[in-house]
Structure 1
Amino acid sequence: MESVPVRCPACRRDHTYSTPAYPCPCGAPSAPPVLRGAPVVPITHRTWNDDWVTVRCRTCGRHDQWPQPELCCPCGTVLRIPVRPVTETDSAPGPAGGAGPDRPSHIPLPRTAPPPRPAFQPLPIGTAHDAVASAARYLKWLGYHDVVQPAERSPARIDLRATGLIAQVDAVCRPTVLRDVECLWLNALSASVTSVFFSLAGYAQDAEARADGLGMPLFVMDRTGTPQPVNSAADELISTGA
């Protein structure tokens, strides 16, 4: 996962942006190549062409449309992160990491072993309800097959429940704060279950540090509905499943 420094032109706040990786149909992670040194642009209106970019999988050479990378600054400004355009001369790397010969984009490279589970099929996110539905889909993919969404959101802000697990989905355009992480953990502790947090705008630094200490898996989601792990607890959950 590539990280680049980003400065908001509206409030001059500095951020570190991590490029999200998406699952290519061949099974390999694929990420938009960030154009380092190019200025970020505040988003004032949206168009289809501006919201999507073409990304080439470095494993099989396939071209896919993925969301244009964005960063939501706490000041309220949404920033478009520039990426390097894909050209016809781009080629997938060979086995040793160098440039290899072009191959048809619809033919994936052979895999030495099958993945532990099929590739996750995300649901695009347009509303807060979509974000909860996508998080539920992801938890089922991890093995929590009895995930349910309460008919009404509880005062404890529990969005999803499963056997041995509760989850919260933060769909607001600001980083999730420390109090939200601690409240979810306390609710999980009282019920003797595991807690998992999903956020669309990432996490405040102290919230992420607290979750690390508590062993709480943290995920961020983008408009494709593909959760990405933020900490080692999330990586472990992906590895082991339910």
Structure 2
Amino acid sequence: MTVRCPSCGRHDQWPQPELGCGCGAVLRIPVRPAPTLPARGTEPAGSVPGASALSPADEGPGGPGGHRAPRSPLRSGSPHSRDAQASPEGASPDGRGSPGTTASCTPPARPPFRPLTIRTARDAVTAAALYLKWLGFRDIFQSPEHPASGIDLRARGLVAQVDPRTEPSTLRDVECLWLHGLNASAVSVFFSLTGYAPEARARAEDLGLPLFVMDLTGTPQPANRAADELIGTGA
């Protein structure tokens, strides 16, 4: 179908392979959960096994059983924006659980991480590669120095950028990395030696993009919740 992008006004056929527009807007398709089937033998007399009743909200313009068009499927920003969810009983608002409760993700058993001292920009990339391997990613490929794409490390299901500059990484840096990960259907991970601008941190939080800060000892430290979760679950 033809959809107008609300950000740049472009009219084009959707979905495209990347489900996105050149301006950065992406297509988010609403998904309705499948109806729960009644247990065998519990259907009312005269009913069709597996059939479920439609509420008035489910009835489209064509009457019962019709399909209602989704509202504004084209959204600007991240398709990974998290809806508000109720915290499980006993969990704290930050999702890490309260004392006496069991964490939802048990960190996998790993040997202690052995960092690489950082003396050059290339050392920073190598240290990040070692850390990702420690997390469980395999066959990590290092791009040539200063790649035009900004992607320093690649693996199956992974793209990573390492920023060795002396100023904080920017909002544009975070968004460009996220778009590369979206295009490759991969996890995006950012490493910075200096940290992140406040707007870059906020955007990474919205996108669920893990941020790490590295010191000169070569030991990455998580800088947001997504990074904590990646450490907990591994690759």
TM-score, normalised with respect to structure 1: 0.52
Aligned partner of 1:151 among 141, 144, 155:
144
Cα deviation for residue 154 of structure 1 reads 3.1
Aligned to 1:118: 111
Summarize deviations over 1:92-149 as a string: whole Å, max 9, x none.
Answer: xxxxxxxxxxxxxxxxxxxxxx972111000000110000000000000000121110
Amino acid at match of 2:140: V
- CA distance in 1 between counterparts of 2:143 and 2:168 reads 24
2:155 is matched by which residue type in structure 1? A
Which of residues 158, 165, 174 in structure 2 aligns to 1:172?
A: 165
Alpha-carbon displacement from aligned partner over 1:191-232 (angstroms, at most 9, x marks no partner): 111100000000000000000000000000001000000001
Alignment correspondent of 2:213 = 220
Q: 2:197 aligned to 201, 204, 210, which one?
A: 204
| Equivalent residue letter for 2:164 | A
Q: Aligned AA for 1:172?
A: R
Matched, 1:235 2:235: no
Provide the residue aligned with 1:72 in structure 2.
none
Higher strand share: 1
How many angstroms apart in 2 are the aligned matches of 1:207 and 1:151?
Answer: 26
Q: Within the alignment, does 1:161 sit opposite 2:149 as a pair?
A: no
Larger radius of gyration: 2
Letter in 2 for 1:164: G
Aligned to 2:101: none
Equivalent residue for 1:134? 127
Instruction: Give unmatched runs, 5+ long, in structure 1.
Output: 1-113
- Mapped to 2, the partners of 1:153 and 1:205 lie a distance apart of 25
Counterpart of 1:16 in structure 2 is: none
How many percent identity over aligned positions? 66
- How many pairs are equivalent? 129
Cα root mean square deviation, aligned: 1.4
Q: Runs in 1 of length 4+ with deviation above 4 angstroms?
A: none
Gaps of 5+ in 2: 1-106
CA distance in 2, matches of 1:203, 1:238: 19
Normalization by structure 2: what TM-score? Answer: 0.53
Quote the offset at 1:151 in angstroms: 3.1
